[in-house]
Amino acid sequence: MGKVIADQSMSLDGFSTGPNVAVGNGMGDGGEQLHEWMGWEDGGPAARAGVGDELTPFDLLKRSGAVVVGRRMFELGEEPWGEDPPFHMPVFVVTHRPKAPIVKEGGTTYTFVTGGIAAALARAKEAAGGKDVAVPGGADVIRQFAEAGLLDELRLHLVHVLLGDGTRLFGRIDPQRVTLERTGVIDAPGVTHFRFRVRANG
């Protein structure tokens, strides 16, 4: 049985984006610093940081059979992800607004699910066929998954920068309902990679 795994980069002061997030500024002001460790600018994921590919969100996608994202993340990502999105698998978008599926190149499909996170996850698990389900965000969807006991693992990339403002990764999480147990840590220049087992309480 596959696991449900969230993956997020976070600044030292707790932000998963900078301020002023909008279409065309999906990571917010300064928020791209959170992804620099992946080394996009220097020859591919993680090349600059000297870390293995297995640490990046791309590895998570490789072992996953389906993806669940929030509507806001989809709206911000649809254009930069382009006609051949990096997913190459079914993506289920949690939304309140019904919308016809969108079929992209390379195996990515966007399917809009209006029944909440549990309904989206059921669709994703069915599509994943025993592989993992990746939950790349946004922060609020990850919080909902964690509090509902639907999340098995959080991969947290703590980036050694301050952003000062933006979206707080743990902003509205109820600490009484979620326990994080650290199962792995790898330190690299400018970023510390954590893996946590996620438990919902009660």
Which residues contact a second copy (rule: CB under 8 A)? 12-14, 30, 156, 158, 160-164, 168-171, 173-176, 178, 180-182, 185, 187, 190, 192, 194, 196
Q: Write down the least CB distance from residue 4 to a second copy, Å.
A: 19
Q: Write down the least CB distance from residue 194 to a second copy, Å.
A: 8
Under 8 Å between Cβ of 37 and 190 = yes
User: How many Cβ atoms sit within 10 Å of the Cβ of residue 190?
Assistant: 14
Q: Write down the least CB distance from residue 160 to a second copy, Å.
A: 5
Q: What are phi and psi of 56, to 5 degrees?
A: -85, 165
Q: Write down the least CB distance from residue 170 to a second copy, Å.
A: 4
Under 8 Å between Cβ of 190 and 160 = yes
Instruction: Please say which residue, 125 or 140, places its beta carbon nearer to a second copy.
Output: 140
Q: Write down the least CB distance from residue 11 to a second copy, Å.
A: 8
Beta carbons within 8 Å of 109's beta carbon, 6+ residues apart: 90, 91, 101, 102, 103
Chain centroid to Cα 111, Å, comes to 17
Instruction: Please say which residue, 62 or 177, places its beta carbon nearer to a second copy.
Output: 177
Instruction: Please say which residue, 127 or 158, places its beta carbon nearer to a second copy.
Output: 158
Q: Write down the least CB distance from residue 189 to a second copy, Å.
A: 8
Instruction: Please say which residue, 61 or 163, places its beta carbon nearer to a second copy.
Output: 163
Instruction: Please say which residue, 86 or 149, places its beta carbon nearer to a second copy.
Output: 149
Instruction: Please say which residue, 21 or 156, places its beta carbon nearer to a second copy.
Output: 156
How many Å apart are CA 190 and CA 62, to the nearest integer?
Answer: 24
How many Å apart are CA 112 and CA 115, to the nearest integer?
Answer: 10
How many Å apart are CA 82 and CA 85, to the nearest integer?
Answer: 6
Q: What are phi and psi of 133, to 5 degrees?
A: -110, 125
